[in-house]
Amino acid sequence: MKKPSPPRARGAKLDSILDAALTSFAEQGFNGASMRTIAGSAGTSLSNLYNYFPSKDDLLVAVLKDANDELLSRLADRLAGAGAGPTERLRAAVQAYVEFSTDHRLASIVAMSEFRYLEGENRQDVVESRDSTERIFVDLVTEGVQDESFRTAHPREAARAILLLCATVPTWYQPDGGLTPDALAAQQADFALALVRSTEC
């Protein structure tokens, strides 16, 4: 039986636990992080932590799904205010994702590096959550191909390349490197649009 995800409307204690877990997974990795250390960082007892999450796997799932829920919320908000055309909408989506990646650097890095440790239902839970994000980008690129705004012959693969572009920003971006977060988001959106406008991709 699937274990329910923590609700979005939640108390300060759960927030503290998820924040502590995120930091621990980012700094020590999934294998190096311990439930005892996470409990201590969150200011709670180990037994109380287990009341929230029966295992470290469950805690990683919650951290990853929480981050993806925030990303989906940002995408929905940005797309609601975007224009009707595929170009404007894809630009808005890429900018929203890149901004999320820079605002939530640790969550983005953990999502890339620690997901591999999940198995079975826990892995499937996160895959289903990520699929929701992928569908948004695949649909945006497909719509652009259908109305001939985009020229790629491979909309699904192009969308996945764009997702990878957005997700990996925290691995190299330095805020003090001369490129502001807004300029970075605009730049990456230009790269994404160049990809889908190419007949060679």
The whole-number pLDDT of residue 3 equals: 46
List the pLDDT tens digit at each of the 201 positions of the chain.
344 444 444 588 999 999 999 999 999 999 999 999 999 999 999 999 999 999 999 999 999 999 999 999 999 999 999 988 999 999 999 999 999 999 999 999 999 999 999 999 999 999 999 999 999 999 999 999 999 999 999 999 999 999 999 999 999 999 888 899 999 999 999 999 999 999 876
What are the chain's domains?
A: 60-197 (1.10.357.10)
Contact yes or no for 89/83 (Cβ under 8 A): yes
Q: Which of 173, 42, 63, 53 minimizes the C-alpha distance to 115?
A: 63
pLDDT at 176: 86
User: Which residue is listed with tokens 């929230």?
Assistant: 52
